[in-house]
């Protein structure tokens, strides 16, 4: 992988990781387009750009990393438990589900769910407008909804946001809780990958790794801020339409 390829993939990771459109499908298409093979060195690169995205969450929400928000972080941990447990127990079965066809279908299904949810909830006043005000019960239900993200193409952000909307969080709070919930989920996933690929860092070229880390961090940081601003004025309909269109594109590519 050269520096240009690293930058393109890092931008895609940073842009798609926290939007409800699944980074998996986009990385599949981009990797094929760029001719990037799934080598061990490139697996190490994926770990690096995921860690950069995690740090972007910390940078954007650094004020919440204090004892004042201890109750909020307890709810984050509670919401993490379902996906952590299911992912640990069934990681082999989950990997077996990974095909482009499954990713494409789940893109389309997720898009339809977003459109239906916005149609059914049109004009609804959501009671929870700050993540700090959500209850433990709501956090638990969001955690259960997030388990669906283990199906490739569903989108971790998409599953958790849909769960949050269903239990009464408004669009902004749903997205913010999804960002915070990404920390334990991505740390666990990246840590698991790191254990399996730490030896590959020794043979990896440092310049693509450094460039990818910096670009993924910057793009993820910016996208999170723009996403919150977008949701204060608009709905998720655009993401639903995009998911359906992208899923159809993937199905066409493998046909």
Looking at residue 143, what is its pLDDT? 96
Residue 152 contacts residue 106 (beta carbons within 8 Å): yes
Structure confidence by residue, pLDDT tens digits, 99-152 = 888 999 999 999 999 999 999 988 888 999 999 999 999 999 999 999 999 998
Instruction: Report pLDDT for 200.
Output: 55
For residues 4-10, average pLDDT: 89
pTM of the model: 0.89
C-alpha of 71 from chain center: 23
The answer to whether residues 24 and 154 touch, using CB atoms and an 8 Å cutoff, is: no
Per-residue pLDDT tens digits for 19-75: 999 887 788 778 777 777 666 566 777 888 888 988 999 999 999 999 999 999 999
The distance of Cα 121 from the centroid of its chain, to the nearest Å, equals 24
């Amino acid at each position: 992988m050269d520096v240009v390829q690293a930058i393109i993939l890092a931008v895609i990771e940073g842009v798609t990781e926290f939007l409800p459109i699944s980074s998996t499908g986009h990385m599949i298409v981009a990797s094929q387009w760029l001719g990037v093979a799934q080598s061990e060195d490139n697996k190490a690169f994926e770990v690096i750009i995921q860690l950069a995205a995690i740090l972007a969450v910390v940078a954007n929400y650094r004020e919440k990393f204090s004892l004042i928000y201890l109750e909020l972080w307890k709810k984050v941990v509670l919401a993490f438990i379902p996906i952590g447990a299911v992912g640990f127990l069934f990681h082999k079965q989950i990997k077996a589900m990974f095909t482009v066809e499954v990713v494409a279908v789940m893109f389309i299904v997720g898009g339809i769910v977003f459109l239906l949810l916005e149609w059914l909830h049109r004009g609804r006043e959501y009671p929870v407008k700050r993540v700090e005000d959500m209850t433990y019960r709501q956090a638990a239900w969001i955690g259960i909804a997030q388990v669906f993200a283990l199906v490739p193409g569903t989108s971790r952000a998409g599953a958790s946001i849909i769960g949050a909307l269903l239990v009464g969080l408004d669009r902004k709070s749903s997205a913010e809780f999804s960002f915070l919930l990404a920390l334990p989920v991505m740390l666990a996933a990246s840590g698991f990958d790191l254990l399996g690929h730490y030896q590959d860092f020794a043979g990896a070229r440092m310049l693509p790794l450094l460039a990818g880390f910096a670009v993924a961090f910057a793009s993820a940081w910016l996208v999170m801020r723009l996403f919150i601003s977008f949701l204060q004025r608009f709905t998720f309909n655009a993401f639903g339409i995009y998911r359906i269109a992208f899923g159809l594109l993937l199905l066409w590519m493998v046909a």
